[in-house]
């Protein structure tokens, strides 16, 4: 192993791992990539890079989720206004329903457990087995 990696090297490598993770790469592929690029790191150091990259992915998605939600809200409002202007109330209602769903304004949807064919309620039979006491 060579000397300790610089902060700049770590940053670049974590970014490379970040890109690999969002592309669907697995740990073994990332380790192979590190070997092919002569990072000269032990597996635990690569695991640290993976952990840092996963934290970055989570942070990125949290930021993007807010951005995507805001854009979608604006789109719904725009569609509603356009539909209202031409008196297309059916579309207004559809847009309002989707908008409410996005914002979580609707009551939770009830889901009933049914048999695989959907014909009746799911019945689960549980048989309790009494453990024998080895001291008896």
Look at residues 68, 64, 95, 58 and name the one whose alpha carbon lies nearest to residue 79: 95
pLDDT at 9 over 50: yes
Non-local CB neighbours of 100 within 8 Å, separated by 6+ positions: 106
> Which residues does residue 114 pair with via DSSP β-bridges, in sequence order?
121
pLDDT value at position 118? 74
- Establish how many alpha carbons lie within 13 A of residue 94's alpha carbon, considering only the half-sphere containing its beta carbon: 7
pLDDT value at position 2? 53
Question: Can you give the residue range of the structural domain that contains 76?
Answer: 7-103
**Residue that wins the pLDDT comparison between 128 and 80:** 80
In a domain, 66, yes or no: yes
Taking residues 83-90, report their average pLDDT. 96
In a domain, 129, yes or no: no
In a domain, 61, yes or no: yes
Name the band, by pLDDT with cuts 50, 70 and 90, for residue 1.
very low
Q: What is the pLDDT of residues 46-62, one digit of tens each?
A: 999 999 999 988 888 88
Is the pTM higher than 0.85? The answer reads: no
Q: How many domains are contained in the chain? A: 1
In a domain, 115, yes or no: no
In a domain, 1, yes or no: no
Q: How far apart are CA 54 and CA 37, in angstroms?
A: 21
Of 4-8, 27-31, 98-102, highest mean pLDDT: 27-31
In a domain, 109, yes or no: no
In a domain, 72, yes or no: yes
In a domain, 113, yes or no: no
């Amino acid at each position: 192993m060579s000397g300790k990696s610089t902060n700049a090297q770590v940053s670049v490598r974590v970014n490379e791992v970040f890109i690999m993770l969002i592309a669907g790469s697995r740990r073994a592929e990332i380790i192979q990539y590190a070997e092919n690029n002569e990072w000269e790191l032990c597996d635990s150091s690569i695991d640290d890079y993976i952990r840092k990259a996963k934290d970055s992915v989570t942070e990125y998605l949290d930021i993007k989720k807010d951005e995507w939600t805001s854009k979608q809200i604006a789109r719904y409002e725009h569609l509603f206004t356009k539909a209202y202007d031409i008196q297309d109330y059916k579309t207004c209602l559809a847009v309002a329903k989707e908008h409410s769903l996005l914002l979580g304004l609707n009551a939770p949807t009830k889901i009933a457990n049914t048999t695989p064919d959907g014909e009746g309620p799911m019945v689960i039979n549980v048989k309790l087995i009494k453990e024998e006491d080895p001291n008896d």
